[in-house]
Amino acid sequence: MVKTVLITGGAGFIASHVAAALLRHGHRVKALDNLDAQIHGTERKPPGYLDRRVELQIGDVRSPKAVRRALSDTDAVVHLAAPYRPAIDISGVDETRPLSFHSPYGCSKGAADQYVLDYARGYSVEAAVFRMSCIYGPHQYGTEDQGWVAHFLISALQDMPITIYGDGKQVWDLLMSTI
């Protein structure tokens, strides 16, 4: 059965890969994106890597009108729009695992995750939280603040200097796509 899936933040790096996978499985894909991350000069353009079969609606997830319009004739939502994190139906860490955050940043992310889970439970909506961080793969570009892995790799490939803040002993994990 073909489902219509809306991807919020649909013009983004991860969203483009999710859209491609959904299209390969025969689904209809709609994307809602304000294109803030895609600004080229003064003109906002969809990224060239976004599959032409994706029905792009330019709008902001903070606009109830834009969201209502995008949700019409939609069976499922993959929420990837910033500043929120994705909520997709996957198997992950059991929700009975106790929360343990070690920074205000981690606490804010954990609180957002909990809002999604509590909303889903309260309104009988199927949802799961999949928090991705430090990801690099095709179509991703970054800055020191957002997408630092891409920024480091692209800078290294272009023989540009890399600035490391702090004492240089920070440890991060990362996910890498080979698609």
Q: What angle do CA 94, 100, 102 make, to 5 degrees?
A: 140
- Sign (positive or negative) of CA dihedral 120, 124, 125, 126: positive
- Euclidean distance between CA atoms 6 and 19, whole angstroms: 9
H/E segment holding residue 57:
strand 55-58
Half-sphere exposure of 108 (CA within 13 A, CB side): 6
Residue with tokens 């689904």: 27
H/E segment holding residue 23:
helix 13-24
Beta carbons of 17 and 24 less than 8 angstroms apart: no
Is 105 catalytic? The answer is: yes
Catalytic residue among 105, 115, 123, 141: 105
Q: What is the dihedral of CA 168, 132, 99, 102, to 10 degrees?
A: 20
Catalytic residue positions?
105
